[in-house]
Amino acid sequence: MRLAKFLAHAGVASRRAAEDVIRAGRVTVGGEVVTDPARDVDEASGVAVDGEPLSGPEERVTYVLHKPAGVVSTARDTHGRPTVVDLVPGGARLYPVGRLDADATGLILLTNDGALAERLMHPRFEIPRTYEAVVARPPVRDRALRALREGVLLEDGLTAPARARRLGADRIELTIHEGRNRQVKRMCEAVGHPLRSLHRTRLGPLSLGGLGPGRHRRLSGAELKRLRKAAGQG
């Protein structure tokens, strides 16, 4: 098995992120640093990450977390800020599926299932993400909603049509299927309403329900089945 795939199956990161971990010199095989993600390994090869040995695939687990403001959406942070992984104690080596800005709140998934994470983040599967955005310069008029629904021209191209509805004079519900960097913020700015706050309420078939800020729960079998189906695994 290729080293990057081995790390993904062991719950270190998605396969793509595992390649970055390997190239950063954090992985050893038999005590020697290896920077080639395509290196063939198995459970007897003595693979370790940051000095911690990997014994092979972990039980696949996926959690939904209500991310509070001020928490970063990474597995670890070089500046010592709290991360989403810190909020889900346990033995599994988890990493977030996608990102929310540090000041954004709401639903984020954490998993050690690299294959599922890759599919959820891949644009081909168009997993919908729903947000509630509080914006400046109210009221939000029909013209702005039409622009969001038809597609907004950003510096990296025209966005795909979004679902948009007004929740209040300064509040929008927006559902997108792309994963561009800070896309909702840029879309709101492009239609004349700079973003004040952002909260993600849904990802694919999942919602926060009554989950409070900073709380998490493991996905049920039925939820995981629906999520896999949305990602083309069912």
Per-residue tokens: 103: 């000041």
96-144 residue pLDDT tens: 998 899 999 999 999 988 888 888 888 788 899 999 999 999 999 999 9
Please give the Cα distance from 94 to 104 (Å, whole number).
20
62-123+205-230 fold:
Alpha-Beta Plaits (3.30.70)
192-232 residue pLDDT tens: 999 999 999 999 999 998 999 999 999 999 999 999 999 88
Instruction: Judge if 3-53 and 62-123+205-230 fold alike in CATH terms.
Output: no
Q: What are the distances in angstroms from CA 148 to CA 72, 122, 134, 161, 188?
A: 27, 22, 15, 7, 8
Amino acid at 67: K
Helices marked H in the chain — which ranges? Answer: 3-9, 15-23, 114-121, 142-150, 183-190, 221-230
Q: Could you confirm whether domain 3-53 is CATH 1.10.760.10?
A: no
* Vertex 207: Cα angle to 232 and 220 (nearest 5): 65
Domain boundaries, the chain: 3-53, 62-123+205-230, 128-203
Burial class (CB in 10 A: 0-12, 13-18, 19+), 148: buried
* E-only strand ranges, 34-181: 47-49, 52-53, 62-67, 95-97, 105-111, 129-135, 153-154, 157-158, 163-168, 171-176
Q: Which of 175, 168, 170, 165 is nearest to 205 (CA)?
A: 175
* CATH number among 3.30.565.10, 3.40.50.300, 3.60.9.10, 3.30.70.1560, domain 128-203: 3.30.70.1560
pTM above 0.85, yes or no: no
β-strand partners of 49: 27, 52
Average pLDDT, whole number, for the chain? 91
Of 101, 113, 156, 170, the catalytic one is 101
**Residue 113 annotated as catalytic:** no
